[in-house]
């Protein structure tokens, strides 16, 4: 294909030597592993007419126990910062019908107090054990009209490669991403000034200036909820639609320009560039995977290769790596440990 995977991986590794070391200031995970058996729940889709909180009350289907081991094995190979999150989950839903890959949600009581978290994952991605590069290639190709069914990439357009080609890495990354959302909810990492949700006959939408607050994660790349700073915008960024394209796809000829733009921005991935919540969750997941697993990644399209691990280790993302490091070295909170509740983000963020 006109490029060397080995050369790219060596380059990535040499750049990663400059990354800050992960802090070891986490409590011991205690008995979080045994909690997994109590919270894994295979479910049918929620009734659309049911209030939002009703999805938590869905009955677990027979066979829920068959999915327990996915999360127990994930626990066993994870760093403590990830292990501890399992103690703060009220449910892990394995979704029989779900269009995306996974999601995260905060749980609040009648008084609005944050009491815990929930994650959900599409049953199909557990039943069909794609490797992380296969899954990511499939997901990226959905923007270009690829199959919505999780059977691997179907367009032969976008080819991700990693030094770890396993289904376990896929699950490690996806769960780290969703746990990143829960950290965001609990610690209010994305903060917007003069911003609130309102609902009218056109649906729910943000009202106000919605300006990222100084010192928040969103201030590193964004000037508004869906608008990055000019230095971090790039061609076709706003047109990436992933699972929710509704027939409006990018042309296959646009993929090279899209990735060229990505590696000139301070976003870790095209998904990170879609909104500020996924910007944090993707960056957090990359940080954990690189430092805990030695993860390396590149993507090829139309014969051009892009070293995404090298991009993550570059000066473009130095402020973001520093932010994640500072967060992990701070007295951060897990869901249920505080009354802190994000005021500018919807409850269910990821898709």
Alpha-carbon distances of 203 from 169, 199, 206, 247, rounded to whole Å: 37, 5, 10, 22
Alpha carbon distance 228, 232 (integer Å): 6
- Listed residue (315, 293, 314, 297) closest to 305, CA to CA: 297
DSSP calls for 73-134 = HHHHTS-HHHHGGGGGEEEEEEESS-SSSEEEEEEE-TT--EEEEEEEEEHHHHHS---HHH
pLDDT at 52: 64
pLDDT at 54: 75
Q: Is 206 exposed, middle or buried (0-12, 13-18, 19+ CB in 10 A)?
A: middle
Residues 320, 189 contacting (CB under 8 angstroms): no
Alpha carbon distance 312, 281 (integer Å): 14
Q: Compute mean pLDDT per 10 residues along the chain, 351 residues long, and list them.
A: 33 34 44 94 87 80 97 95 94 94 89 86 94 96 93 92 94 97 94 84 76 95 94 96 92 98 98 96 96 91 97 97 95 78 32 30
Q: Which phi and psi angles does 121 have, rounded to 5°?
A: -140, 140
Question: Phi-psi bin for 294: left (phi > 0), alpha (psi -120 to 50), beta?
Answer: left
What is the value of pTM for the model shown?
Answer: 0.87
Longest dimension (CA), the chain: 60
End-to-end CA distance of the chain: 33
∠ CA 45-48-54, nearest 5°, is 75
The 3-state DSSP composition of the chain as helix, strand, coil percent (nearest 5) reads: 40, 20, 40
pLDDT at 30: 61
Alpha carbon distance 141, 101 (integer Å): 14
pLDDT at 204: 73
Residues 298, 305 contacting (CB under 8 angstroms): yes
Q: Any idea which residue has 């590069």 for tokens?
A: 133
The pair of structure tokens assigned to 314 is 């570059």
Alpha carbon distance 309, 311 (integer Å): 5
For residues 221, 237, 314, 16, the Cα torsion angle rounded to the nearest 10 degrees is 110
Give the other-Cβ count within 10 Å of 349's Cβ.
Answer: 23
321 contacts: CB under 8 Å, gap ≥ 6: 19, 20, 287, 312, 313
Alpha carbon distance 325, 113 (integer Å): 28
The pair of structure tokens assigned to 159 is 């080819």
pLDDT at 57: 87
**How many CA atoms does the CB half-sphere of 181 hold within 13 Å?**
28
Alpha carbon distance 187, 336 (integer Å): 11
Residues 61, 75 contacting (CB under 8 angstroms): no
- Listed residue (107, 130, 111) closest to 120, CA to CA: 107
């Amino acid at each position: 294909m006109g490029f060397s995977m080995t050369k790219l991986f060596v380059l990535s590794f040499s750049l990663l030597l400059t990354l800050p070391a992960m802090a070891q200031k986490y409590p011991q995970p205690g008995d979080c592993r045994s909690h997994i058996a109590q919270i894994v729940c295979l479910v049918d889709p929620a009734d659309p007419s049911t209030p939002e909180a009703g999805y938590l009350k869905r009955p677990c289907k027979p066979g829920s126990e068959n999915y327990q081991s996915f999360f127990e094995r994930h626990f066993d190979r994870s760093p403590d910062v990830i292990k501890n999150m399992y103690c703060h989950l009220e449910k892990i839903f394995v979704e029989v019908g779900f269009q995306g890959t996974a999601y995260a949600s905060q749980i609040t009581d009648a008084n609005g107090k944050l009491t815990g978290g929930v994650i959900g994952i599409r049953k199909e991605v557990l039943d069909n054990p794609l490797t992380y590069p296969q899954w990511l290639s499939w997901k990226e190709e959905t923007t270009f009209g690829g199959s919505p069914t999780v059977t691997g990439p179907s367009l032969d357009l976008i080819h991700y490669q990693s030094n770890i080609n396993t289904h376990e890495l896929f699950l490690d990354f996806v769960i780290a991403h969703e746990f990143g959302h829960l950290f965001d909810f609990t610690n209010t990492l994305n903060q917007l000034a003069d911003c609130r949700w309102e609902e009218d006959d056109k649906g729910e939408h943000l009202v106000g200036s919605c300006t990222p607050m100084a010192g928040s994660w969103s201030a590193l790349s964004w000037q508004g909820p869906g608008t990055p700073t000019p230095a971090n915008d790039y061609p076709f960024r706003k047109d990436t639609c992933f699972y929710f394209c509704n027939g409006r796809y990018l042309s296959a000829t646009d993929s090279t320009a899209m990735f060229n733009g990505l590696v000139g921005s301070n976003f870790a991935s095209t998904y990170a560039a879609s909104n500020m919540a996924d910007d944090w969750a993707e960056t957090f997941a990359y940080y954990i995977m690189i430092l805990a697993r030695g993860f390396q990644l590149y993507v090829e399209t139309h014969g051009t290769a892009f070293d995404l691990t090298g991009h993550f280790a570059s000066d473009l993302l130095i402020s973001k790596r520093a932010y994640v490091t500072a967060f992990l070295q701070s007295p951060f909170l897990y869901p249920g440990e505080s009354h802190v509740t994000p005021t500018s983000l919807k409850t269910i963020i990821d898709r």
